[in-house]
Amino acid sequence: MNIDPVKILKISAGAALSAALCYGLDLQYAVSGGIICLLTIQDTRKETLSITLKRLVTFCVTALLCLCIFGITGFGLIQLGLVLALLLIFCGLVGMNEAIAMNSVIATHFFASQSVSPDMILNELALFSAGAGMGILLNIFVPSNEAKIRRIQRETDERIRRIIGRMSIYITAEDKSDYTGSCFEETNRLLDELRREAVKYIGNAFVSEKDYFYKYVGMRMEQCIILIRIYTDIKRLSIVTSHAKPIADFLEKTSAEFSEINDAESLLAELDRLFAYYSEEELPKSRTEFENRALLYHILCDLKSLVSLKADFAAKLTDSEKKRYWIYSQKSID
């Protein structure tokens, strides 16, 4: 279970402050202000604002339903059931199910007080405003998770760099019995964590360039899929020939230059030279040599895809992304 102490503190403090504010304003059902705050606070600022707007719309609908049904037909359990049923139908039709709980409580307040007077409607609006307002206010102070993202990002890139480095060794190794794919498990776990943090980062920002980390982790995930294919091909190599050495050298070069700020252009040029080199080589003379050369060619094609992903990523960056994230990515973040 993932426990977020900051969120727990924020929710509990916000609920208490909202309730205290409502008591101070001498509102009926003041404690409900705390519950509204609790329901308002989400993981990100965007989620909090979105859910608050939905609840504001459904609050108006709830007040109108109570005014029409209770005001015309009286305060009975059948009428309460009708209000709640219509509220459920409305929320379901417009996709605002998140607002059902809070507005159901609002409806019961009208029922319990046996009143839909203007004063009672203002009382409920004040409860909503105090609770939701406190939730929004507290979510403004969401601490940035950029430092955490950078830490995971650096750790992930280092693991991928080491994976490529191991490939440069084992592609020319006769004994591959101790060459396992266990390294991919932790790398994929880090990538999943990085993607979750990137989504949270986007949710706490209001400018489009903040999706840099999400695009970055997407690129690295695609690269990992390719690396798993390359690993599988290396394991299938049955003989060691001189033809594997140029690819081993390229893998070593890729590992050494693997970083966030590398635009991969020099690696792409090196790959073009490798393809030209292999096209001039003599054809294999045996079935085994043919199969191994085919695997090496497949590895080379996958390496082209691997490097092209980074080159495309770098080419599509906006100027603001390059300035804010890419060029200065090597700066340590406290």
pLDDT, tens only, 255-309: 998 888 788 888 999 999 988 887 776 766 667 777 788 888 899 999 999 999 9
pTM of the model: 0.68
In the chain, the percentage of residues whose pLDDT exceeds 70 is 89
2-13 residue pLDDT tens: 566 767 887 888
Taking each helix axis from N to C end, the angle separating 45-73 and 77-94, rounded to the nearest 10 degrees, works out to 140
CB-based contacts of 316, cutoff 8 Å, min separation 6:
none
CA distances from residue 115 to 34, 72, 127 in whole angstroms, order as listed = 22, 12, 16
Alpha carbons within 13 angstroms on the beta-carbon side of residue 57 total 13
Confidence tier at 193 by pLDDT (50, 70, 90): very high
What average pLDDT does the structure give for the chain?
A: 85
pLDDT greater at residue 270 or residue 50: 270
Please, is 87 exposed, middle or buried when counting C-beta atoms within 10 Å of its C-beta (0-12, 13-18, 19+)? buried
> Which residues of the chain are in CATH 1.20.120.940 domains?
146-326
96-120 residue pLDDT tens: 888 888 899 999 999 999 999 999 9
Q: What is the mean pLDDT of residues 182-204?
A: 88
| Most confident among 25-29, 178-182, 199-203 (mean pLDDT) | 25-29
Q: What is the mean pLDDT of residues 175-189?
A: 89
pLDDT reported for residue 107: 93
Confidence tier at 139 by pLDDT (50, 70, 90): confident
- Compute, in degrees rounded to 10, the torsion defined by CA atoms 81, 84, 90, 94: -150
pLDDT reported for residue 3: 61
Find the radius of gyration of the CA atoms of the chain. 30
Of 24-28, 64-68, 75-79, 330-334, give the lowest mean pLDDT range: 330-334
Q: What is the DSSP string of 31-82?
A: HHHHHHHHHH--SSHHHHHHHHHHHHHHHHHHHHHHHHHHHHH-S-HHHHHH
pLDDT reported for residue 334: 37
221-238 residue pLDDT tens: 999 999 999 999 999 887
CA–CA separation, 95 and 86 (whole Å): 14
CB-based contacts of 77, cutoff 8 Å, min separation 6:
none
Q: What is the DSSP string of 218-234?
A: HHHHHHHHHHHHHHHHH
> Is pLDDT of 332 > 50?
no
pLDDT reported for residue 2: 58
CB-based contacts of 19, cutoff 8 Å, min separation 6:
30, 31, 33, 34
Give the H/E segment covering residue 287.
helix 287-315
Q: What is the DSSP string of 235-270?
A: HH--S--GGGHHHHHHHHHHHHH-STT---HHHHHH
pLDDT reported for residue 298: 92
CB-based contacts of 313, cutoff 8 Å, min separation 6:
215, 216, 219
Q: What is the mean pLDDT of residues 46-68?
A: 89
8 Å CB contact between 16 and 34: yes
Please, is 182 exposed, middle or buried when counting C-beta atoms within 10 Å of its C-beta (0-12, 13-18, 19+)? exposed
CA–CA separation, 133 and 33 (whole Å): 10
SS3 of residue 333 by DSSP? coil
Count of helices and strands (H, E) across the chain: 13, 0
Q: What is the mean pLDDT of residues 132-138?
A: 86
Confidence tier at 207 by pLDDT (50, 70, 90): low
> Is pLDDT of 86 > 80?
yes
pLDDT reported for residue 146: 80
> Is pLDDT of 88 > 90?
yes
pLDDT reported for residue 333: 40
CATH number of the domain located at residue range(s) 146-326 in this protein: 1.20.120.940
